[in-house]
Amino acid sequence: MKGKRIVVGITGGIAAYKAAALVSALAKLEADVRVIMTESATRFITPLTLQTLSRHHVAVDTFEERDPAVVSHIDLADHADLFVIAPATANLLGKLAHGLGDDMLTTTLLATQAPVLIAPAMNVHMYENPIVQENITKLKRLGYRFIDPGEGQLACGYVGRGRMAEPEEIVQRIREILAEPVTDLSGKCVIVTAGPTREPMDPVRFLTNRSSGKMGYALAEAARDAGAEVVLISGPVSLETPYGVRRVDVGTADEMLDAVLRDLPRADVVIKAAAVADYRPAQVADYKIKKSGEEMVVRLERTPDIAEEVGRRKQSHQLLVGFAAETDHVETYAQDKLKRKNMDLIVANDVTQPGAGFEGDTNIVTVYDRDGEVLRLPKLSKREVARRLIGLIGERLHAR
């Protein structure tokens, strides 16, 4: 933390008083703390308070240029190691999601290339408003990081989600972000497969699985943030395409294989995060199968093994990363799969563990290579797991 320039943005909510504790804690850790306040924020806490705690001038007015050698908001944007918005009001989220810059804080945020951590705080009904949630989803998709609000008694009298995270939690999250390895995948092409496949029985029925695609989409975002060109080959999911990522929609295992092989020659990394159906109906009816009798027998046949085919074709410079969702003997099955399919890394999880199964927002994984375990992660958000995995992949690529 020592010497890291952290810009704290404070917006006009009652939780602004917590920002004083946050700034004080960061200053005690010897961070170089700069504060930007919106005009509304100054109605809740004074700039003098934050100036005293940070030991630096507090920026409020976009047109207050104290140093003629620089443009203030560009200088802050360029030299920041991290931006923290605490509290972040619904108004700030809306402006940021739509690229609006009408004050010192929003213009600086639009200009920065540093990571941005956002701590929302507002009334529970405001937070749950579909428009606010849509703005949060969009910002997450664009790479902004969030520390979710807590639940409890709110200043307005309601009880529910909307309390700004405590300063101690925010400081811990800041530590984690600043400790992340810098991964540079500039000039690299990364293929990520995500979601389930659907294997049709007739025009209205199909075999599929519970994969939501969230892990694969998080990996695509993390690879994009590291500078890679990302091709996301996705089965049917209800997720938005990450900004700056080329998405290829597929339905069946055959279609996913064809899409992977089309881009394989130019890929540096292939991450097989999709849950591809192992079997499909041997015959697909042209018309809807009508109900008849007490039971129906469906004969199944194997689908193509995409990871095995990529492992057979991959070149020496290419890295193949697979996933293994298991319910027992996780390490044994994962390492067997890695060797049989010529993978370089395999990410294994026990889907019976709470927080590690399908459809959720968290995961618990262990990564193996041919020599054994190389990384074990506790329960983390899938976005955080993705960042750690992309960091490991970057290390392996650069080591080559």
Q: Which of 369, 363, 366 has its CA nearest to residue 384?
A: 363
Q: Where in the chain is the domain with CATH 3.40.50.1950?
A: 5-179
Q: How far apart are alpha carbons 102 and 212 in whole angstroms? A: 38
189 annotated active-site: no
Indicate the class that CATH gives domain 189-283+292-399.
Answer: alpha beta
Full pLDDT tens readout for the chain, 400 residues:
888 999 999 999 999 999 999 999 999 999 999 999 999 999 999 999 999 999 999 999 988 877 776 777 888 998 899 999 999 999 999 999 999 999 999 999 999 988 899 999 999 999 999 999 999 988 987 889 999 898 887 777 777 788 899 999 999 989 888 877 667 899 999 999 999 999 999 999 999 999 999 999 999 999 998 999 999 999 999 998 988 899 999 999 999 999 999 999 999 999 999 999 999 999 999 999 998 888 889 999 999 999 999 999 999 999 999 999 888 998 899 999 999 999 999 999 998 888 887 888 899 999 999 999 999 998 888 988 998 999 999 999 988 7
Of 156, 282, 289, 298, which is the active-site residue?
156
Enumerate the CATH 3.40.50.10300 domain ranges in the chain, comma separated. 189-283+292-399
Instruction: Report the sign of the C-alpha dihedral through residues 358, 360, 364, 365, in that order.
Output: positive
CATH topology (fold) of 5-179: Rossmann fold (3.40.50)
Binding residue numbers: 278, 288, 323, 337, 341
Annotated binding site for CTP: 278, 288, 323, 337, 341
**Calpha distance 271→351 (Å, rounded):** 19
pTM for this predicted structure: 0.72
> How is the beta sheet containing 362-369 ordered, strand by strand?
246-249, 229-234, 189-194, 269-272, 319-326, 345-350, 362-369, 372-381
Check if the beta carbon of residue 349 is closer than 8 Å to that of residue 363.
Answer: yes
